[in-house]
A = this chain, B = another copy of it.
């Protein structure tokens, strides 16, 4: 298992670095672009939520992202020490919400917010949220598609 941990300040302008890191690691692992995109999106939504909701956009606080992976799964842990997620929203992570159940033609009902948690729920395979000693952790696991082992392409004999 490999593991990286990055800490960023609670500043929305710093969130891009989460994209940089997650995307770079996924590409290095040889994930396909659809998997990479959905993991990047979840990481950004989760970190943005910590800054907006746990810290109410106050600067000077810290959000940590831990990335752990093996051959068959990738785990993201997003941590803050701000206000914990209310129960009703934690439920979104387990039972889901109907935010994407709209009729596309019914313009007034198309959501402008409240999408992040449901995106995460749909894109990830295992999710949990816990608060221990003042630290909130959102745990997201994605099972990875089988990839070609790198060895197959290795060292073609000279022709």
Interface residues of A (CB under 8 A from B): 2-9, 11, 13-14, 16-17, 19-21, 24-25, 28
Contact = CB atoms under 8 A, between A and B. Distances in A.
B2 A13 contact: yes
A5 B2 contact: no
A7 B8 contact: no
11 contacts: A2-B9, A3-B9, A5-B8, A6-B21, A16-B28, A17-B24, A17-B25, A19-B24, A20-B24, A20-B25, A21-B21
Contacts of A20: 20-21, 24-25, 28
Given A21-B17, A24-B17, A4 B2 contact: no
Nearest to A67: B17
Contacts of A24: 16-17, 19-21, 24
